[in-house]
Amino acid sequence: MIRFEQVGKVYPDGTTAVDGLSFEVAEGELVTLVGPSGCGKTTTMMMVNRLIEPTSGRILVDGEDIAKIDPVKLRRRIGYVIQQVGLFPHRTVLDNTATVPALVGWKRSRARERAAELLDLVGLDPATYGSRYPAQLSGGQRQRVGVARALAADPPVLLMDEPFGAVDPVVRERLQNEFLALQQRVRKTVLLVTHDIEEAVRMGDRIAVYGEGRIEQFDTPAAVLGTPATPYVARFVGSDRGLKRLSVTAIEPEDLEEPPVALLAESAREAAARLAASGARWAVVLNGAGELHGWVSADALRPAREGERVGSLARRMDAWVPVGAPLKQAFSEMLQYDAGWVAVLDGSLFLGVLTPAKLHEALRRSVDADAQGVGRDEVEFDSVSDA
Ligand SMILES: Nc1ncnc2c1ncn2[C@@H]1O[C@H](COP(=O)(O)OP(=O)(O)OP(=O)(O)O)[C@@H](O)[C@H]1O
């Protein structure tokens, strides 16, 4: 846990970088610090591992005032990932990753074993990449090594300064998702600095939105987007915050439509009759275990011969998302498969489908739920279809 108590930093030339910072990052929580250039994010972060000393207030890590901890010892408890990664160019990827365990006195063989495990964890096969040098990696791969190295000594706290800043947007999104999946498993206490509100929203359990040298709002992504605390925050998160909410609103069972269902092994004629009676133009096709196979149209079923099964007329459907996934994921599947709906699954079981209309409703539900005084006209919906 990291706790800031009235922390301020005035540089020797008189620049006040931050002032009166008080907030807490709970154990296992990921807090993003977001704000424009020069607002004091990096200063905030570097005070946690004492690369910069505050001029007022105090910072506690796990309840201990860090001013009283030897900085070298402190830094061994804190992983540090920076944009430029800072890998040693003349050391292999494996040795780079093993740096901190080796520093803290692990045996070489154990440190290398641990490094291999970590490379695996961040999606780099140690057999392929372990013996390469940093220059022989792509930017995204270097970034992953940076994360692996920071995690190698299993520090409870992780500081990340624009960790995905140096890669293109597609790779960035992949690294972000990978890191989130990793964080689900390792549950570090993370402080992540970014100037990108999208990244802050996607990554943070909570977000600290910085104005000049101070925090304007400290809250969950949904609350920051739904109810910006100040006009400054509203401007910073942008007029398309309704759209950004797609990233933070989870699909819930109540959002789903329940279209007619046909089973793979069922008689096509019976299924056709059922569809005709309900007036539906298509049905979702499931196997006997209730798992998604695809879909079948009423037109395909109508001419079915006696004895023909739904399975021989059904088409596969690969657009699906797990229940609880963000609306944005469903939307992106719809676009990718050029589909008018996506199936929503609970494990492998089919729950229902999400359609664009339902997606819109879900977004509205989410905005209304914590709009608390924010007028509907302040939240833009109409751009959803342009995303
Ligand atoms: N060593 C220093 N001496 C004087 N002023 C400094 C020093 N380091 C940073 N500053 C100033 O402190 C303020 C906060 O800087 P900081 O690097 O924390 O901002 P930041 O939000 O991380 O910005 P960026 O996103 O551009 O990295 C800025 O005005 C900066 O110019």
User: Given a cut of 70, is residue 370 above it in pLDDT?
Assistant: no
Q: Please choose, from the candidates 71, 70, 64, 93, the residue with its C-alpha nearest in 3D space to the C-alpha of residue 152.
A: 93
Ligand 1 centroid from CA 43, angstroms? 6
Pocket of ligand 1 (CB under 6 A): 11, 13, 15, 17, 35, 37-43, 195
Ligand 1, atom 24: nearest CA belongs to which residue?
37
pLDDT of residue 55: 96
pLDDT of residue 385: 34
- Tokens for 286, please give them: 């499931």
Confidence of residue 23 (pLDDT cuts 50, 70, 90): very high
| Whole-number Å distance between alpha carbons of 313 and 300 | 6
Task: Calculate mean pLDDT across residues 127-145.
Answer: 89
Percentage of the chain surpassing pLDDT 90? 43
pLDDT 10s digits, 268-303 = 999 999 999 888 889 999 999 989 999 999 999 999
User: Given a cut of 50, is residue 170 above it in pLDDT?
Assistant: yes
pLDDT of residue 79: 87
- Tokens for 182, please give them: 């990793």
User: Cβ distance 367 to 245 under 8 Å?
Assistant: yes
Give the list of residues 6+ apart from residue 1 with CB closer than 8 angstroms, or none.
24, 25, 26, 27, 60, 61, 62, 63, 189
CA 213 and chain centroid, separation = 26
User: Given a cut of 60, is residue 375 above it in pLDDT?
Assistant: no
Taken in order of first residue, the domains within the chain and their CATH numbers are: 2-247 (3.40.50.300), 253-361 (3.10.580.10)
| Nearest atom within ligand 1 for CA of residue 33 | 21
pLDDT of residue 376: 35
ipTM: 0.93
Q: What is the dihedral of CA 287, 291, 297, 303, to 10 degrees?
A: 0
| Whole-number Å distance between alpha carbons of 114 and 24 | 31
Ligand 1 centroid from CA 35, angstroms? 12
User: Given a cut of 60, is residue 253 above it in pLDDT?
Assistant: yes
pLDDT of residue 270: 93
Please state the φ and ψ torsions of residue 280, each to the nearest 5 degrees: -75, 150
Please state the φ and ψ torsions of residue 379, each to the nearest 5 degrees: -110, 125
Task: Calculate mean pLDDT across residues 158-174.
Answer: 81
Which helix (H) or strand (E) covers residue 302, if one does? none
Residue type, 20: G
| Nearest atom within ligand 1 for CA of residue 42 | 22
31-35, 152-156, 227-231, 290-294, range with the lowest pLDDT: 152-156
Ligand 1, atom 28: nearest CA belongs to which residue?
38
pLDDT of residue 245: 79
Ligand 1 centroid from CA 42, angstroms? 7
| Nearest atom within ligand 1 for CA of residue 15 | 5
pTM for the predicted model, two decimal places? 0.71
pLDDT 10s digits, 32-48 = 999 988 899 999 999 99
The C-alpha angle with vertex 197 and arms to 227 and 27, in degrees rounded to 5, equals 80
Confidence of residue 369 (pLDDT cuts 50, 70, 90): low
| Nearest atom within ligand 1 for CA of residue 40 | 18
| Whole-number Å distance between alpha carbons of 94 and 148 | 10
pLDDT of residue 387: 33
User: Cβ distance 211 to 34 under 8 Å?
Assistant: no
If you count them, how many residues does the chain have?
A: 387
